[in-house]
Chains A and B, each alone.
Chain A
């Protein structure tokens, strides 16, 4: 089952590169996305058992959570993407500088999209630190061509920064792997999550600390933790909206899972306290830097990107605080991915109608694109933690965890930064929706393929705000209690 989940998108990706008919290729993309989501759902609801392939390839609760997020988001993106691809044909004029440009061949785009899904599935399904590393690097390599879909110099610049920064980060994470191997040598432990847990305090402490440090810097670059986040706003603003949605909603999570696995090694070695402090610190720094850049942000896609930096900070902070806050962080990973995926897809609709990413030039979205306007406001309320949406519940859980743990300073800073981001996003988003549309932007029909996926994600976020399914709660408790050190 696990192998099928990984190989199906990989095979579909290879086929997509070879197929010549556009219609057939798009059908293949949809089929692969539906099949992947279907298999994941069957495994998640316990109707199908995902048998461990070996000690290297197995799906635990933590992996399943991230696999579920990735698969659901990919399905939404695939449905949206089919409509998107059919509109993106031929040579078009760059709306920022007026030069004509064309897109990358659709076969390359679809193929890489599917390889990307395969790599992300492997990230969630492996317990071996080396294989995890290979898989995370593979997600970078598969997604770099996606960032450079529009063949003009700005997206090339974004893709180059993304490729080089993430590769350097990944090289540092490789050193983390080797340090981990040195740490496990005295105990003779295998480099898997279970192997290290079995070795326990037999692991050499200073080397575990050094390993965690390098994992944090390496995977933190990819996760977008400040101050290592500099590639993120560029890549998110220049990539097509479907790709931005996947980058924010799925890839950042994969890197986060990498850090969680490193954290599990620290917990096993009894070095959790050291790792926790680092995570809290980086979390707060990320939230602070993101808040500063969200305020007065001129480009609405960059604004969403900085909001992702903020939420990655929240995730790191929650895991660092531990206990209820860590459970909140896992729920927040789910909430953030669904919300941010939806926001980027809606941003794609707005970009298409207005042909500008400058927030100041966008007015009257509510009139020009009624459905997208509603979703845009709903997404904004959700992402800034306003009830009744899901992120409110998870952010509140993290706050409660911080207060219960007696971390009043951290809790105060956390609340202040959340409030600051709310103000920053509110001024931009609400101004875009209200008012009269500038001349030359008529009311447009909104095709169902560009509305249904974000609407479905919005519905899921709303549901999670009103009702968190008890099995999910039990799973969070089990994961945090057993492998994240309580």
Chain B
């Protein structure tokens, strides 16, 4: 099953790179949903040796939320906000991709430095997970619209999840359910916030949210 998980991790890295180079918000949401499916498969394959019903249900539930419910919520928020395209991000798409490449190199370096105990040894999990986290952070800081930032947060969470699902396999049921619930509620609350930002400003560009700062006396 090793080659299968490796292939999935490559898919994860590719979707991250595509996210960095995309300007259309609908495409961002679709790619985030695709990542949800990829991660669901990862959850199945890493436990392929001893597949339990509980594990299958968990992977199915996680996929349903990450690839179904959350993209649906985000797409709805996008339609209500009437935003389809990211207007002039802080960091251009070509530069984003270049930075992404640098991040990938850095992640591979970190992966080579960390000695992973147990079953995960030698697999590209650590670089892929760290790259996903880096890509998510990059999306959050480089994009203007609230929705792109939410997708960035999802990608960051996906990176963390990738690490968790492959490395930390003991007692994860309740934790994982909690994580999923938190993620769902977080996106829900963020979606409401996006709706309010739209109503308040007639657009969802977060950089207009910049009145709060420290002023002199």
A interface residues, Cβ below 8 angstroms from B: 130-131, 133-134, 137-138, 141, 144-145, 148, 151-154, 156-161, 163-164, 167-168, 170-172, 174-175, 177-178, 181-182, 184-186, 188, 190-191, 204, 206-207, 233-234, 237-238, 293, 296-299, 302, 359-360
Contacts and interface: CB of A to CB of B under 8 A. Distances in A.
Contacts of A237: 212
Among A133, A167, A181, A207, chain B packs the most CB atoms within 10 A around the CB of A167
B174 to A, nearest CB: 7
Contact of B209 (A144, A161, A170, A186): A161
> Which size bracket describes the interface of B in this complex?
35 or more
Interface stretch (B35-43, B64-72, B193-201): B193-201
Interface stretch (B86-94, B98-106, B182-190): B182-190
Contacts of A133: 175, 178
Contact of A154 (B170, B174, B211): B211
Contact of A156 (B149, B153, B167, B209): B209
A134 B178 contact: yes
23 contacts: A130-B175, A130-B178, A134-B182, A137-B182, A151-B200, A153-B200, A164-B190, A168-B140, A168-B153, A174-B157, A174-B160, A175-B133, A182-B118, A182-B167, A184-B170, A185-B168, A191-B170, A293-B214, A296-B216, A297-B214, A298-B215, A298-B216, A302-B214
B81 interface: no
A468 B31 CA distance: 58
A296 B217 CA distance: 6
Given A164-B153, A178-B164, A185-B170, A141 B193 contact: no
Nearest to A152: B200
Interface of B: 114-118, 133, 137, 140, 146, 149, 153, 156-157, 160, 163-164, 167-168, 170-172, 174-175, 178-179, 181-182, 185-186, 189-190, 192-193, 196-197, 200-201, 206, 209-212, 214-217
B125 to A, nearest CB: 11
A153 to B, nearest CB: 5
B209 A167 contact: no
Contacts of B146: 160
Chain B binding surface, main DSSP class? helix
Contacts, number: 139
A302 B206 CA distance: 22
Contacts of A190: 171
Contact of A157 (B115, B153, B211, B214): B211
B205 to A, nearest CB: 12
Chain A binding surface, main DSSP class? helix
Contacts of A238: 212
Contact of B167 (A134, A181, A360): A181
B196 A185 contact: no
A60 to B, nearest CB: 20
A182 B170 CA distance: 9
B196 A148 contact: yes
B93 to A, nearest CB: 22
A91 to B, nearest CB: 15
A134 B160 contact: no
B58 to A, nearest CB: 14
Given A156-B200, A171-B156, A238-B212, A141 B171 contact: no
B212 A157 contact: yes
A204 B117 CA distance: 9
A153 B193 contact: no
Given A148-B196, A178-B164, A297-B217, 16 more contacts: A131-B178, A133-B178, A137-B186, A144-B189, A144-B193, A145-B192, A154-B211, A154-B212, A158-B212, A159-B193, A160-B193, A160-B206, A164-B153, A178-B168, A181-B168, A191-B171
